Structure formats: C-alpha cells, structure tokens
Amino acid sequence: MSFQPTHPIAYGRQHITEADVQAVVATLHSDYLTQGPKVGEFEEKFAAYIGAKYAVAVSNGTAALHLCALALGVQPGQRIITTPITFAASANCVRYCGGEVHFADIDPATALIDLKAVRQLLESHPEGYFQGLIPVDFAGLPVNMEEARKLADEFGLWIIEDSCHAPGGFFTDSQGREQRCGNGQFADLAIFSFHPVKHIATGEGGMITTNREDLYQELLKLRTHGITKDPAQMTRNDGGWYMEMQELGYNYRMPDMLCALGISQLSRAEEGITRRRALAARYDAAFANMPTVRPLVGAPGHAYHLYVVQVADRKGLYDYLRTKEIYAQVHYIPVHTMPYYQGLGWKLGDFPLAEEYYAHCLSIPLFPSLTDEEQEYVISCIQAFLSEAGK
C-alpha cells in the first residue's frame, strides 16, 4: 500500500471552485444579499433541472420538510408513515405540526422503505386512519414513486418525497420513461438539501418542488412569516408599502449569496453525478471479489449521494479506517430507536430489517473530487482489514 493520503478522506466533501467563489463575491457586491433576484433565478433553474413546474428555495432541508407538512395541513392526531432509515428530520416535520409518526420497515437489499410493508400497515388499520406518506430516496436510490402514488391514491394519502440524497436521480416508470426525483409527477411535494456533503452544496439551504400551484403559493407565504404582498391575495391595499400576514408562517428564506453559490454548483450537477456513478461502479467491481462486503443494490438512475456497504464487524472496520485517515460514517441510526421516539412508544424490535441493516452498514468515501488513487487506497484498506480479521 504505497499511496498515503496527505489529508483525511471523509465519506463526503463539498467541491468549491473559483467560479463558485466569484459567483458569491459578485452577489456580495450587488444590491441584494437576501430576497433579491438570485433566489428566483436559482428556483427557476433548479425546477428546470428537476423537471418540476415550481421550486421554492428555503433555509435548509429540515425547513423544507416542515413547510411541506404545514402546506399539506398536518395537524395533531393525523398519522403519517415514513421509513426508520433516514435522518430524523423526515419524521420530525410531522411532530413539529403535532402529528403522529408511524414507520414501515425497509427492503434489506436497498434500505428503501418497503412499499409492501406500507401496504400491510395501511390494510391493518381502518380506512382513513393514515393521511400521508414520506418516502425517502435513501443514499440517492430513487423510490419507485409511480408505485408509491398508486398506493397513496388507493388509501387517500398525500406524498412528500424526501429527495435530499437524489437530485438528478431517476427511476424508469411502467411506460419506460425516466422520471427524475422530485419532478412532481407523483409526489405532491418533494424536498432537497444543499448541505455541504450533498450534490449541490451551499453551506445550508434547501428546495421544495411541486407541480401544484396551490401548494406553491402557500409555500411562498409560509416561508416568509405567512406574509403576502400580492394585491390579488390581500384583503385590502393601503399603498405600495402594504402587506398582510394572513397566517402564522416562518422565516425560512434562503439568502441571495447562497442561491448564487447554488446556481454555480447546479451548472456542474450532471458532471458530479457522472463522477459519482463512475466511483460507485469501481467500488462495485472491487467488492464483487470480496464476498464479506455487501453493497446496497444499485440502479442506473442512482444518484449516489452515499455508497453504503454492509460488513460483519462494522465497528471494527469503522475504527480501523480511522487509523488510516479514512472517515467513514453510518447512515442511519434507525429513527424509532432514538430516545425521543422511544418516549412515544417505539422500541427495539419493532422494525427488525432496519435494525439489522443498521448493525452492519457503513458509508465509505464517495464524492466527485475523490481521486482514483484515494479510492484505491480506501478499497485496499478495507481489503486489508478483512484479511487481518480473517473475515
């Protein structure tokens, strides 16, 4: 193993270019730092990239989820289904509104929510017991939203597609058409995150996409304190300064500086996904000869935010890689095992497939600026650990 890294290799990393820096600097020199033209430009370009009619830029992915739950009218006593293998925000957005979170177990091959398990959950309760579904495109692998929509329509559910891991990802529908994550063809609303390790990095930031104009207009108000300046929506108009707070909203705006960075990053989005898929293919080929390393199942439309493997001794491999300056991560601790959710009645054993997945999963380095040499080093270290451990 002759190659030695000159810096730690994390599981994910932002890639900031000089063009990104200049885009932010230009905005700093402009008249607007927030609520300016870069917000609308980012929204328009992101909607076009995803293939949705509307996009609403917000302060982060969690804010996006919260606004979606508000716009869809989640209230105390309503019951929403999601996956236990996700970041807690996918469930927390329901709790912010007083709703009840229910979980369905995962498909162990993909770690996506198992729509068959969702159906079983729906059929085991009276009609109208559940109101919504929040599937997650985990690791960048798209949920089959066509099937999710059929299920939702059958049982009267709305859908929020959590696509934080999958901008640019797609699945192929029953007609052979590629359907991009968050394009609004099947979900009522979809959300994205621009956290540094995501495909498009703005530091913090998020986006909501939809094809429904009613939800779009509602989201515009909710992200800015419930205020409108649109004369067509106001009850009266006292003059050019006049605005109305028509409902209780939040300050979930995204500033122009970050939108400028997002626009610049978006221009390289396809290039980044191409590189992610190439890196994933190299991992696939390497691990095909390591039967004790089990990657999650891939697909042509996988956006590869994460590359997840499962091994017998996850803790051992995690610790060993750190000694080699490789900083892998675990995605995710099942939400239902968190103390807060256990306080709501969930317990270990409720979702055995999710818990079994968690016991063995590890996200290894995958990001566009990862070099071929660095990737080979990661593979060699994993191979060395398995060889030394005799596993």
191 forms beta bridges with 162, 208
Q: Which amino acid, 91?
A: A
Decide yes or no: CATH 3.90.1150.10 for domain 269-389.
yes
Q: What is the pLDDT of residue 358?
A: 98
* 313-366 pLDDT, tens digit each: 999 999 999 999 999 999 999 999 999 999 999 999 999 999 999 999 999 999
Element (H, E) at 375: helix 372-389
Q: What is the pLDDT of residue 53?
A: 98
Q: What is the pLDDT of residue 1?
A: 58
Averaged pLDDT for residues 183-208: 98
User: How confident is the prediction for the chain on average, in pLDDT?
Assistant: 97
How many secondary structure helices (H) and strands (E) does the chain include? Answer: 13, 16
The CA distance from 179 to 170, in Å, is 5
Architecture of domain 18-266 in this structure: 3-Layer(aba) Sandwich (3.40)
pLDDT at 382 over 90: yes
Per-residue pLDDT band for 234 (boundaries 50, 70, 90) equals: very high
The CA distance from 258 to 132, in Å, is 31
pLDDT at 225 over 90: yes
Averaged pLDDT for residues 229-244: 95
CA distances from 391 to 83, 109, 135, 275, 385 (A): 31, 21, 35, 31, 9
CA distances from 7 to 74, 213, 326 (A): 46, 48, 9
pLDDT at 376 over 80: yes
CA torsion, points 94, 222, 139, 167, in degrees to nearest 10?
Answer: 150
* 123-177 pLDDT, tens digit each: 999 999 999 999 999 999 999 999 999 999 999 999 999 999 999 999 999 999 9
pLDDT at 391 over 60: no
Q: Where are the domains of the chain?
A: 18-266, 269-389
Element (H, E) at 170: strand 170-172
Is the separation of the CB atoms in 107 and 114 below 8 Å? yes
Q: What is the pLDDT of residue 388?
A: 87
Q: Token pair for residue 127?
A: 């009609």
* 41-98 pLDDT, tens digit each: 999 999 999 999 999 999 999 999 999 999 999 999 999 999 999 999 999 999 999 9
206 by DSSP, 3-state: which? strand
Contacts of 232 (CB under 8 A, 6+ apart): none
Q: What is the pLDDT of residue 173?
A: 98
Q: What is the pLDDT of residue 390?
A: 67
Q: What is the pLDDT of residue 2?
A: 76
Contacts of 196 (CB under 8 A, 6+ apart): 12, 13, 14, 203
Q: What is the pLDDT of residue 367?
A: 98
Is the separation of the CB atoms in 140 and 131 below 8 Å? no
* 241-292 pLDDT, tens digit each: 999 999 999 999 999 999 999 999 999 999 999 999 999 999 999 999 999 9
The CA distance from 200 to 216, in Å, is 22
Averaged pLDDT for residues 192-209: 98
